[in-house]
Amino acid sequence: MKVSEILKSKGPHVYSIGEDRIVRVAIDMMHRNHIGSLVILNISGELTGIITERDILELCVKYPDNFQSLIIKNVMSKQTIIAEPNDDIDYIEMVMTSEFIRHVPVVENHKLVGLVSIGDVVKAQSKIIQYENKYLRDYINGVRG
């Protein structure tokens, strides 16, 4: 299964925030939308990074008195690992697991086209396993179709 198939089922909407905003705005957006990350875009709309719940928790510890007023550009994860629509989900799962990340922006022709979470990957893999199990059960039971 490809990343593009996950995006088809979940839709292309990605929550994003400008890199010039403050962390408090990011916290509010994440809380309001029940999401674990925001993609960071520059003034031209280009992907420049990502900020996650884990990043914000780390800021709480490092800067307990003023973390909410920090500028996102200065605290975001800049070396963002990205996926492409044609990437295989097994590969993306391996990268996410080895790099300890839960959210990967999906880029095509230098344009942000979606975001895949570890939950999306697990859900997709579960569907594949269920389909394969059904196919094998049908085969064993002599059901042809």
CA distance 36 to 57: 12
Strands 47-52 and 37-41, how do they pair? antiparallel
Which residue has 């990011």 as its token pair?
26
Reported as a single tens digit per residue, the pLDDT across 106-136 is 999 989 999 999 999 999 888 877 777 887 8
Q: Which domains does the chain have, with CATH numbers?
A: 3-140 (3.10.580.10)
Alpha carbon distance 50, 70 (integer Å): 15
pLDDT, tens only, 30-39: 999 999 999 9
What's the pLDDT tens digit per position in 61-93? 999 999 999 999 999 998 779 999 999 999 999
Bridge-based pairing state of the strands 103-108 and 37-41 = unpaired
